[in-house]
Structures are given as structure tokens and as C-alpha cells.
Structure 1
Amino acid sequence: MDIINHILGFPRIGAHRELKFAQENYWSGKISKIELLKIGKKLRYKNWKDQSSSGINLISVGDFSWYDHVLTTSMMLGNIPERHRNIDGSIDLDTLFYMARGTALNKSSVLACEMTKWFDTNYHYIVPEFVKNQDFNLSWNQLFDEIDEAINKGYSVKPVILGPMTYLWLGKITGVKFNRLSLLPNLLKVYQKILNKIYEKGIEWIQIDEPILVFDLPSDWMHAFKMTYDILKSDLKLLLTTYFESINHNLNDIVNFPVQGLHIDLTHGKYDLSVLNRKIPHDWVLSLGVINGRNIWKSDLKFWFDVIQNFLKFKRNVWIGSSCSLLHSPVDLRLENNIPLEIKNWFSFALQKCYELNLLTLALNDNDSSILQSWTDLLHSHAKSEMVNNDFVKNQLMNITYNDKKRHSVYSVRSKVQKNTFHFPVLPTTTIGSFPQTDDIRALRLQFKKGKIDFHKYQNEIKKHIQYAIQQQELLDIDVLVHGESERNDMVEYFGEHLAGFIFTNYGWVQSYGSRCVKPPVIVGDVYRKNPITIEWSKYAQSITKKPVKAMLTGPVTILCWSFIREDLPKQIISNQIALALRDEVLDLERAGINIIQIDEPALREGLPLRKIDWKKYLSWATQSFRISSSKVQDTTQIHTHMCYCEFSDIMDAIVQLDADVITIETARSHMDLLEFFKTFEYPNEIGPGVYDIHSPNIPSVDQIVYLLEQAIKYIPINRLWVNPDCGLKTRNWKETISSLKNMMIATKKIRKKFETLTI
């Protein structure tokens, strides 16, 4: 039989971020719901047409979502938290936005659902909430409507849904604790209805995503997996889909599931295909994920041709596809007109990855790899490029010593020095770094980028925004100020623009969450600092206030994880290159009189390998990279770091190894649940658990913040506790920001007064 190709999903945002702007215009009341729905339909139609025109055989349907595909699944299953429900029990698109944002049209503001990272990616999903004895109902017809749309357009359709076991695993229990597997019977009744309804539409195959099969799952979960698919067995053919890692350790169980196909990720997982073929049922389709959906480099099609061609001697019913959903890739490389052709020839965006699959399919079906040679040659030209290798950087890496990875003194000594230096009050207050990125700021940066204003004019205008941010913080009486980052487009892109080894796209946008899109820089060569990056902005901010100003840097692991990285070097080497570049910046800041420096590492947990057997090695080099960037400063310099939206308890030992003087973390959206962890784990340094959720436009009340601080004091000594929002404020407007920070300061002073009364 001929090879069939498919992808696991396509970017939903549009090549020009059409979905982002439509969402935000709807939320602000600039367009109607009907107009929003029209834009969504237009995007879906274009996505399907582009896939088909590129040679994709089976068109994925169900990969489009209005905010996040896990949230879409919650809507379909009727899993709506009580606080987000309409009085009459109905749900609509506003219900979805209500859950994600805590606010919606004509509804009172409430706490949004928690948000966290999707496996080890920079995509965020809205966490499902489960209560004991919960019921589920088929409540949202988006998937079925879109299947009808695609069928009516004449496409061969492969629906995509999130599997029930992964959905349960990704959620959180609220209220009374219970075993979430007890919800499985009710959940599977709805999944049976979903599968039956899809089969009635004449569909042959459905892609059912169960990526948690790459984890080291407990035995009761693996047993529940078998039971789940015994119940879901139907005339509809199920392609059990895994990605991001290998499933070898769970394969002996998986081969007994009553499914008709299995998808594996060959770009991230290590497999012996001959062993795999011996284990899986002979009649199963095996889908090989050979096109990397998480990076923008061309694939070595000649290599994959040889691998698959050899495998076809033993197994004929083979599909080829993307390793994972192309959600994590930009849309179309053809839009990039400012990248040098030499570099552009190394890259492949989502549409080009579809073309790669078609090209590889044609070669395999014709048993002729000659059509792949020119494509592969373009990729291999990277290794020969003069812009890739730098001897100075290689020598720096070779000369890293033990002393480069440790502070001069331990924290207990440093903290005394710093307390005598800064004289902070109890519960010192700060923010995470960024302040609102207004339309004026964005327009200013664009004018400078296009050459419409010179650097002198740009610098003076940015200084006005810094001055305003400093003034507002002084009026609020915040203890440690920040300059607001008005000169920065993105916390990673900005630093990449000032480091050698990076290049940048104009349309390389990927979705982070909801309407939030990021444009990751691309690491193509050895990394080093060309010139100082933040020094002048930080010096200016410090010159206009007597309060300490905290300098803001993005850490090496986060820059690594949030960039498209070169694939010819280990991650550890690239991370250490970045760390050495940042160390130069840190030492220049210290010499300039900036004695509080925050090096953000929100991606430390995100980069954690999915299998625990690999954690120790990763955390060892990741924490060392951070210490390389931060450890050469004097004891009087206070190093902060920040992390958000992840399971910190998994890596708290590693966080201690960072040896930052202060860590600020997200806890507000999760009701400070993380603080329960500190009942049994004593964090040795200073910590600022975020006291309000900045990703929601809701203004936290003084009482809410007082309550959260009182909870924090139960678990963290007050003399090591800081007060701060849970993340940067760039996505908020100034009115929201000032109101929220004002309440934060009132609440802090209430607690301070109470503490002073108790200690008199």
C-alpha cells in the first residue's frame, strides 16, 4: 500500500495573528461575536486548504480552539466550574472566555481557572477542575460542526481529540480530595457518545491524543488505560497518539490496547523500529513522527527516507507525520523577506513542514530519494557557514571552573550583609519587572525599527516611560523598583537581539496562551555578548530615584527553552554559552552601581525531561548555567529570580541549588495551594509567593491579598517573605496595574502593622 501522510494539528492563530486580534477586539467590544466566529471559520478554511494544497492526505479537524484545546475539551465534556456557569445551565463562547480570563461580557468577575505549561513546551493550557462524584455531559458541539464544515469542503477528515486519560491527568482536584480515576466511568460515557457521533458522520480514523503515555505512570493508571480503551472500542478506528518522548517503557501495556494505530515521535523519542514492529500487533497502522513540530529547522529528509525505506521491508501499513502538533511552529516561511537567503534555506515553518511530508511521501512511494537531495543539501550547508562557529566562545567554555559556579559566601552570610545594605522593612515589596506595554510604547518601537526616528529621539522617549513607571512606583511606596522594560518587545527576543548567534523573524509567531503570541528568536551559531544590553536603561532609572532599582535579565535556561535552537549542539553547551554572555552583563550592572539583579528562569521546570530518569542530569547542568550567570557578584549584590505557572514542588531541590537570594513565584491563581508544600519543605532563602494573578483583568481586593499573605506567613518565616504580583505586568493597562498594586501595598502595610503590634 502507499504511504499516507498527516499532521497532528496546525497553528490556529493565522500567519498574521488574525485570531489574536479578533479575540482582543471581541473582548474590548470592538467586534461582535458573529464577526469573531466569521474570522475563526475563515482561518479554519484557509488552514485546511493550505494543508491540502501542500500534499497532506488526511486533514486534521478539531485542532482549532478559541483559547486552548484543553479548555475546548472541558467545554465539550460540560466540565464548567460552578463559579463560571450561567444561571440556566447553558454554555456559550463567553463561558469559555470566562473560565480562561475570569471575566466575560455582562458577567461579574471571578477567579479564572488555573493555567500551566503543556508538558515541556512554552504553550499554556487551562487546567480542568474536578470535584468528587462529578458528572460530565456532551455540551459543546464545536468539534462536530467543524467536521461537517471540512466534509462539506470535500476533505478527507481525521478528527483530533484529547484522550480521556490525559484529560484526567492534566486536571486538578478542588474541594474534598479523592482519586480522580473514580471519575472515569462517567467521563467515558461522554467519550463514547463523542466517538459514536463522529462515526455516524462517515469518518474512518480519529486521532486520540494520549501524550501522558510518555510518563512513568503509576500502575493503577496503566491498568485504567487498558480498561478505558476496552470501553471505547468501536467501529471507528483509533490512532493512539503520543509525542514529546519515547513510550518504550510503557509499550508492553500499550500493545494490549484495542486500538487500530499508534503514533510515535521519532524526533524526540529513541526507538528501535525493528523491536517496535515485533511488539505491536501486525494489523496496526504505525504512524512515524519524523518532521519535528517543535523547531523551525528543515528535516534531513534523506536520513528519514533511509530509515523508513529499511523499515518498509518489514511493515507495510505505515503512515508518516509531524512529531507533534504544528501548533508549536510559525505558520509560513514565505512571509520572511528580511532573512538572508543562506539562513532562510535552513528553515521550515508549518506550511513547509507539510510540504516536507509530501516530498518524503512521494520519494517513499516511488522508491526514489533523488528528489530529496537538494532539500537536504540546503540544511547541511549550516555546518559549513562562517557565522556558526566562534573560537573565543569555545575557549571560554573550556575555561569554566568550579569557582565560576558558586557565590563567594553562603546565603546565611550574604543575607546579613544585604540587610545591612538595603534596610528593607518586613515584607519588602516589589514587582516582577515589566509594566504596561501601551500602544504608545509599541508605536515608538516600531517607528525606531523602521528608521522613522533616530536613536537619540527613541532613547529620550523611552526615558519618559521609565520616568513615569518610577514615579508611579514611588507614589505607591513600593520598596524595590523596576524600570518597567518599555524598551523590550519580549523578555527573550530582546536579549537575543543583543547577542551574537541569534537571528530574528518577522512572522515567526507561535501561540503561548489565548491571545498571547511570542516570536522566539532563532539560535543559529555560537552565542556571546557583543555590547552591554541593559546597563544604560538601569542606570538612568536608578539616577531618578533614591529607592533601589532592580535590574531585569532573562536567564540562560529560559532563553534556551524559549528560542528555536540549533540542533547540532547539546542544549547544555548552548545554555552555558548564554550564561557566559549574561555574566558579562551582570558584572557590568554591578560595576554601574545596580545592586539588585533579577535573572528570570520561568522555563526551568518547563525544560525538565518528561521521564524522571533524565531529571538529575538536566537539573545539574541547568542550575549550573544559572550559577555561571550570577555567581561572580559580591555579597552586597542581591540576586533575584522568578518562576511562574509550573509545578515547583517537583524541582524545589534544584531551585535551592540556584542559590538566588530571593525567588518570586506564582501562587495566586492556584489559591496559594503551593504553600502547602512548605509545611514539609523549608526553603532556605527569601521567597515572594505572588499575591495576585496578573493574567486576569480582575482587580484583587485588599482582603483577598491580606488573606493570601496570612496563609503565606503560616509556612514561610515573615523575615524571609517578599510581597509581589505573580508575574510581569506588561499585558495589563495602567489603570488595572495601579489599582491592583495599590491594594497590594495597603494589604502589606496592614500585615506589617499587625506584625509590629505582636512583636512590641
Structure 2
Amino acid sequence: MLSTSTIGFPRIGSQRQMKVSLERFWKGGASEKELLDTLNEVENEAWSVQKGIQSVGLDSTLYDHVLDTAFWLGAVPNRFQHLSGLQQYFAMARGAEGKPALDMSKLFDTNYHFLVPELEPDTFPLKPNFELVLSKVQRGQALLGKDAAVPILVGPITFVSLARGSVPAAKSLPQILPVYEKLVQEMGKLGVKSIQIHEPILVTSAGASLKDSFLAAYNTLAAAASRCGIAELNLVTYYDDLEEEVYRWAVQLPVSAVQLDFLGVVGATVSNRNLEWVEKYGWPEGKKLIAGVVDGRSVWADLEGHACWILHRLLTKVSSTSLVVSSSTPLQHLPFSLDNEPAGRVPAALQPRLAFAVQKVAEIVAAATAASGNKQQAAGRHLPLDADYGYGEKDFSRPEPYSARRNKQIAMPPFPTTTIGSFPQTKEVRAARAAFRAGKTTQAEYERAIASHIGMAVGVQEALGLDVLVHGEAERTDMVEFFGQMLEGFHFTFNGWVQSYGSRYVRPPIIVSDVKFLQPMTTIEYKIAQSLTSRPMKGMLTGPVTVLNWSFPRKDISRKAQALQLAGALRQEVAALEATGCRVVQVDEPALREGLPLKTTRHAAYLRWAVDAFRLTTSVASPATQVVTHLCYSDFQDIMQAINEMDADVLTIENSRSGNEMVTALAESGYTRDVGPGVYDVHSPQVPPVDFVKAKIKSFMDSGILAGQPDRLWVNPDCGLKTRAWPETIAALRNMVQAAEECRKELVPGWKPQQPAGISGGQKCCC
């Protein structure tokens, strides 16, 4: 049979062991040794599952693999260089001593967040520390043997491409390469036979400009591997196909093998072209092709035998001794195993159609076995269907332009304060939900418990003096799961956890059929919350593109078609909220940019239907209803036009870790609608001082955005507060509100405190 390889596996443990251990460690309830013991346990579990694979990628992390790379390189920001060991590692991840953590962003077009390396002049010279990475290699070799245990490294060019800072890639790469060389040499001393170097940057449009960098880097690394007896240096790409010209030079790089993704994005209407390039240009003699033919980020099983069909096509150009079977991407984007679902949880008709990470490993072996035989698979892969749902032009536009509707909406003081939506999910909240799901409490008892938590959230906000309130989302386990459970067309797993970042895991729903609105989903909680205050209360929805991008989509119809189905359903929820008296509706789209194709030539088509989906959702709102949206975890400079075309009345954004990059971009683009840049980082337990928040607010004014109009600059945290504890939440919001109040006095001539904000135009809140 053909050889097999894996390039990554879920790093969280079958029972989320890493999450439990990390959070105990952070709270002081576990020692460093106990944390590392859990890491070893999770590694052994994952690697043991892959024992039938010839080359197993040694994938594991305490928090994030890009952070791991910065750590072993010694690319540590100056503010953390006085620390060492795991104290330094987690300070980079979470912040410490009042100093901000590394920025967080989405990894290419996935829902995984990585920590953005910082490359500044004071980062150099690097102070490498190979202890964690080399000890991982030794553990893998002990379990799997030296032939099968293959270290994984984030490639040097991908690393510098993902990094930020004043030292450009052209200057940082020559300083980083010697550290990679040294690590390769150290791995050679351990008897390593093969190394995977992951360079997904090659599949982006930037790949075309990186030829010289790749040639220089891989000539250096290949020579280092040869000197220390490492037989194979494997270049691994994934998340999309290579551009034609990139393919032609990338396969000629001085490496033993190149991995290509032959599948691309589920639901994309543009075909992956890597197979076309192999058939058109052939494959270099003596070089291995690692074929990513088992879908690494789709939960759908390959019932059609598409992997085997691709392999048979490839075998006409590549010898069987040079063809290796693998997944299209690392399997970290999938739940651990379908076997972890309780009996009867998955409908009988759906069960055979699904495959999680453990099952995908079996698919790799099955495809390698089947392709080695003479059975020709007849069915190729068909592009997903698109659809037109009969919406007209008016369905995608608000009744009046922003300039006409703004004065009809709620009146606000200068620097109005609000939050992004969620409040701490305490043990009590989770216990109430668990008891209800287990049938230990009645519907009425559960609703009373949720109403009590809503009352607390509203009371805290009123006491702190926030201007626009939220109900806190105590009833929601997850901002996507909640809506999926209320709509037709979704399946939900019990143990289908996937790492989002660090110890933050999510259970993406699976879209299994057409999505349809059944009944109002958020109006009960909204009415409870609004009845407790005269201040404006937001109705809180997750946008259609985010629901799509944070779910496992269907593969039989296009992502565009699924987004419009979701928009049509959420549109009815906006109307239902308005009918209850809601005059501020927030439709969050934090995942808008992460769905952006990795090729710039495909951006326009995606953004067109993504913006259409948002506008279809919100266009039903009356001019007097303020539509808010929230974007986070991404770089938005290249989608400014799309953000403007969304036509939201208020845009709130993640900002605190990004050095006002987005604020500057909005100012330079002439953005005209209200903006709420985040003033503090919700992913860190650090409480921002009042002066810190004031400095942030003043920096927004200095940026020139909205000509410094204080009533149009909102003051809010970066994101929701779900993962924070109540004491730090209250302390941070108290400082935020105080900072806004002091800025009103200092920056707005003649400002005098007034009554709490309410609904303008003579309208009353629904109480």
C-alpha cells in the first residue's frame, strides 16, 4: 500500500484534559510538573491513535504552536524578557504585571486564533530555548520509534510573515534562520530521520513574491539537515492550492517531499487546482508528493471515495514509492473522535456520514490501501451547488441612508459606554444549564435561574453607570451554538470540542440541511432585561457569516447559499426584537474576515455575498433602530470597503492589542459611522487602570477618526466578558466608565452630567 503521513492532530485531549489542567495551573491549583504531565498524557493519547501511520507529525502545545515557535526562537518582547520558563511563556499568551499579551489573530482562513509574534529591534539578538521542543521529540521517539516520530516546525517564512513589528521580514529572516539551523542540528543529535516544516504562507497570494526567500531559507536548512544526518526535510502546505507559478518553483525546492492540499475549502465554488498543476507540469523525479486528500477541516466522511479518485489520478504522474497519503490540513480543526459521542446522540442516518479526527486517520489508511489496488474510483468531486432565494434589491438595503436615520436613533452622551454582549459564565450559570439539560430541573425553574442572572448583569451595569446595556447572555453556552439550536438545519455534538485558542474550546455545530427560522429566539431574555431598566438594552444576535464560518458547513451547496439561508432566518429575529420594542440590535460578525479566501483574486466574490448576508439580516430594521456590529481577531485593512458597505450604525472592534491599527485604518479610509474601538483586552485577567483607558480614548481622538466627535466614539471592551470572573469584570468596567466620565469633563467643553441615556424621539423603552 501507499505510505501514510499525518501533519497534525487535536491537541486538547479526548476529554479536554488540557483545558482542565491549564485553568487549574493558572489559578494556582496545579504545579508546573502536573501541567506538563497532562501535556505528556495528551500527547501519548493522540500519538497512539496514529500508530498505524508511517510518519506521525508530533503535534502538541500548551497554548499555541505559533507562540511555541516564538518561545523556542527566543523572540520574546522586551517587556517579558526579565521572565523565564513557563512564566514567560504564559505572560506572552495572557499578559502579566499590567503588560499586554501578544496580539491575537485568526490563522489564515480558519477559526483558530494564534498569538502574533512581535519582531522589534529589542527582540534581537534572539535567545533560543529548545528544551520544550526537544523534549517533545524525545517523548515521540520513545512512543513511536525514531522512524515514525516526525517533528513539526512552523516554517521560518510563515513565521516572519505572521509576525508584526518594525523589523521587516527581509531583515528578521536572516537573524532567525541560524536558530532554525541550530535546532535542526540538535534534532539530528537525537536521531531524527525526518522533519516537517509547515509553510502555509505559500498558498496565499503573498506566496508569489516569496521565491527568493524560500530558495535562500531552504538551501540553508537542507544543508543543515544533510550535515547532521537528517534524511528528509519535508515542506508542508495546506488550506488551499498553490498558484500556478508558485507550484512550478516550489516543487523544485531542495527538500525531500512537498505536501499539497488537493481539497481546499468546503463549500467553495472555485475548484482546487493542485491536481491540475501536477497533471500539467508533472512531478520531480525522486521527490515525494505528500497528497492531502482526506479533508482535514470538514467533518464529512469521504463516502464517495474522492480521496482514492485523486490518488489514482496522481499515480499517472507520480510513482507509488513517491506518493504519500495524508490529510489536506492538520486535523486540529476537527473534534477528537466520533466515538466520544454518547450512544444515540447522533441520528442513525447521519452517523455514517461523519468523520472526526480519529476517523480521518482511518480514512488516510483506507485511501492508501484502496489506491494501491486496481479498483478505479469513478466519481470525481463536484463543486457545490449555488442557489437564488428570490430576494430583491430592496431586501438588501435599510429604508433610509445613515445620514437620515442617525438622528432618529438613541441619543448618547459624549464617549458613550457599553459592553460587547456576554458577561461571566459562572459555575452557577453552568450548573443551572447542566441541571436543566439533565432533566433535574423544570423549564420554569431554569427560566427563573436565568432571569436571576440577567437581573444581576443589569444591576451591575446600572450601578456602574454604563449607557447602553446588555442582558449578559447567561442562557448561551456559545454565540453560534445557541442560535443553531433554535434554527432548523443543525446537528449538535456532545463532545465535539475544537480548540479556538489556549484553553478556549468550542463545539461547532454541523449544518446538515436547509436552515429555517422556527420561532423567536432572543425576545424573552430581552424583555426580562429591558423591564429592569430605563436605559437602552441591546438585542444580541450572531451574524449569518459568523454562524457559517464557526460551523461545519454542508458540502453539497455553496457557502454563499448557506449564508443567505442563515440571513433569511436571522432577519426574522431582528423583526421579532423590534416588535418587542427593541431599538438597539447588535449583529456580531467577528468571523467576517476569516472566511476571506487566501487568494486576493477571490476576495471580491466572497465579500459581495458576505456583505449581502449581513444586509439581508439587518435591512428589515426601521430607521429608528440602531444596528450595531462587532468585528474582532483579524486585520481589517483589506476589507475596509466591505465594512463600509455593511451599513451598520455602530461598529465596535477588537483593538487593545493592536496598537490602534484598525482605528488608524478607519480614519484614513474616511469611515463615517459611529465607532467603538476596544479600550482593554478581555483575554487577560489584568484590570486596566483609569489612566490607561483615558489614554486610549484620547488616542482615538488624536487619530482624527470621525473628526474627533465625542458622541460618536464609543467606549467598550475589546470583546465579550464570558471568560472573565465577576470581580475583575466589575473592576475593569468601573475603571472604563470612570475614564469615559473624566474624558467628558476634560475633552468636551461645557459638558455637564445628564440623566441616563434613553430612547430618543419621544420613544420609551419597553419596560
* DSSP-derived class of the 1:699 partner: coil
Q: Quote the offset at 1:246 in angstroms.
A: 1.0
Amino acid in the other structure paired with 1:412 = S
Q: 2:693 aligns to what?
A: 705
| Cα 1:545/1:69, change in 2 over 3 Å | same
| Cα 1:218/1:577, change in 2 over 3 Å | closer
Amino acid in the other structure paired with 1:28 = K
Amino acid in the other structure paired with 2:238 = Y
Q: 2:760 aligns to what?
A: none
Aligned pairs (5 A) from 1:510-529: 510-529=498-517
Aligned pairs (5 A) from 1:556-575: 556-575=544-563
1:292–1:323 contact (8 Å) kept in structure 2: yes
Q: 1:276 aligns to what?
A: 278
* 1:486-534 deviation digits (Å, cap 9, x = unpaired): 0000000000000000010001000000000000011000001111100
Q: 2:393 aligns to what?
A: 402
Q: 1:364 aligns to what?
A: 371
2:644 matches 1:656 = yes
Give distance in 2, aligned partners of 1:646 and 1:186: 27
Q: Quote the offset at 1:109 in angstroms.
A: 3.6
1:535–1:588 contact (8 Å) kept in structure 2: yes
Q: 1:606 aligns to what?
A: 594
Amino acid in the other structure paired with 1:411 = Y
Which of 324, 332, 339 is equivalent to 1:327? 332
Which has the larger displacement, 514-523 or 677-686?
677-686
Give distance in 1, aligned partners of 2:326 and 2:25: 35
Q: Quote the offset at 1:308 in angstroms.
A: 1.2
Amino acid in the other structure paired with 2:687 = I
Q: 1:102 aligns to what?
A: 95
* 1:124-151 deviation digits (Å, cap 9, x = unpaired): 0111010137222431322211211122
2:117–2:164 contact (8 Å) kept in structure 1: yes
Aligned pairs (5 A) from 1:341-380: 341-368=348-375
2:22 matches 1:26 = no
Q: Quote the offset at 1:672 in angstroms.
A: 2.0
Give distance in 1, aligned partners of 2:129 and 2:304: 43
Give distance in 2, aligned partners of 1:135 and 1:252: 36
2:293 matches 1:290 = yes
Give distance in 2, aligned partners of 1:595 and 1:160: 51
* 1:445-497 deviation digits (Å, cap 9, x = unpaired): 01111111111110011100001110100001101000000000000000000
Q: Quote the offset at 1:43 in angstroms.
A: 1.1
Which of 399, 402, 414 is equivalent to 1:426? 414
Q: 1:386 aligns to what?
A: none
Q: 1:170 aligns to what?
A: 162
* DSSP-derived class of the 2:10 partner: coil
Q: Quote the offset at 1:20 in angstroms.
A: 0.5
* 1:657-710 deviation digits (Å, cap 9, x = unpaired): 100000100111123233232442111111100000000000000000000000
State the 4+ residue runs in structure 1 displaced beyond 6 angstroms. Answer: none
* 1:215-243 deviation digits (Å, cap 9, x = unpaired): 22276633112111111123232111111
Give distance in 1, aligned partners of 2:424 and 2:448: 18
Q: Quote the offset at 1:367 in angstroms.
A: 3.2
2:409 matches 1:414 = no
2:35 matches 1:46 = no
1:78–1:140 contact (8 Å) kept in structure 2: no
Give distance in 1, aligned partners of 2:459 and 2:751: 33
* DSSP-derived class of the 2:305 partner: helix
Give distance in 1, aligned partners of 2:15 and 2:138: 26
Amino acid in the other structure paired with 2:34 = E
Q: 1:339 aligns to what?
A: 346
Give distance in 1, aligned partners of 2:276 and 2:654: 45
| Cα 1:47/1:759, change in 2 over 3 Å | closer
| Cα 1:634/1:274, change in 2 over 3 Å | closer
Amino acid in the other structure paired with 1:271 = R
* DSSP-derived class of the 2:645 partner: helix
Which has the larger displacement, 596-605 or 147-156?
147-156
Give distance in 1, aligned partners of 2:694 and 2:670: 22
2:731 matches 1:739 = yes
Give TM-score scaled by structure 1 length. Answer: 0.93
Q: 1:74 aligns to what?
A: 70
Q: 1:299 aligns to what?
A: 302
2:237 matches 1:242 = yes
2:497–2:505 contact (8 Å) kept in structure 1: yes
Which has the larger displacement, 572-581 or 146-155?
146-155
Q: 1:10 aligns to what?
A: 9
* DSSP-derived class of the 1:552 partner: strand
| Cα 1:442/1:15, change in 2 over 3 Å | same
Which of 487, 492, 496 is equivalent to 1:504? 492
Q: Quote the offset at 1:189 in angstroms.
A: 0.5
Q: Quote the offset at 1:272 in angstroms.
A: 5.3
Which has the larger displacement, 314-323 or 714-723?
714-723
**Structure 1 runs not aligned, ≥5 long:** 384-388
1:138–1:193 contact (8 Å) kept in structure 2: no
1:605–1:651 contact (8 Å) kept in structure 2: yes
Q: 1:56 aligns to what?
A: 53
Aligned pairs (5 A) from 1:742-753: 742-753=734-745
Which of 248, 253, 269 is equivalent to 1:252? 248
Q: 2:566 aligns to what?
A: 578
Aligned pairs (5 A) from 1:666-681: 666-681=654-669
Which has the larger displacement, 710-719 or 557-566?
710-719
Give TM-score scaled by structure 2 length. Answer: 0.92
Q: 2:135 aligns to what?
A: 145
Give distance in 2, aligned partners of 1:214 and 1:309: 24
| Cα 1:168/1:758, change in 2 over 3 Å | farther
Give distance in 2, aligned partners of 1:759 and 1:486: 36
Give distance in 2, aligned partners of 1:203 and 1:226: 23
Q: 2:427 aligns to what?
A: 439
Give distance in 2, aligned partners of 1:135 and 1:102: 22
2:174 matches 1:185 = yes
Amino acid in the other structure paired with 1:330 = P
Give distance in 1, aligned partners of 2:98 and 2:414: 32
1:301–1:360 contact (8 Å) kept in structure 2: no
* 1:238-284 deviation digits (Å, cap 9, x = unpaired): 11111111113312331342112111111107225364253542221
Give distance in 2, aligned partners of 1:179 and 1:703: 32
Superposed CA RMSD: 2.1
2:678 matches 1:690 = yes
Aligned pairs (5 A) from 1:424-503: 424-503=412-491
* DSSP-derived class of the 2:57 partner: strand
Q: Quote the offset at 1:213 in angstroms.
A: 0.5
2:57–2:150 contact (8 Å) kept in structure 1: yes
* DSSP-derived class of the 2:748 partner: helix
Amino acid in the other structure paired with 2:315 = L
Give distance in 2, aligned partners of 1:546 and 1:248: 57
2:722 matches 1:730 = yes
2:247–2:277 contact (8 Å) kept in structure 1: no
Amino acid in the other structure paired with 1:143 = V
Q: 1:633 aligns to what?
A: 621
Q: Quote the offset at 1:593 in angstroms.
A: 0.2
Give distance in 1, aligned partners of 2:284 and 2:672: 53
Q: Quote the offset at 1:31 in angstroms.
A: 1.3
Amino acid in the other structure paired with 1:290 = V
Q: Quote the offset at 1:543 in angstroms.
A: 1.0
2:262–2:274 contact (8 Å) kept in structure 1: no
Give distance in 1, aligned partners of 2:412 and 2:566: 32
Give distance in 2, aligned partners of 1:427 and 1:40: 45
Amino acid in the other structure paired with 1:71 = L
Which has the larger displacement, 351-360 or 669-678?
669-678
* DSSP-derived class of the 2:513 partner: strand
Q: Quote the offset at 1:49 in angstroms.
A: 0.9
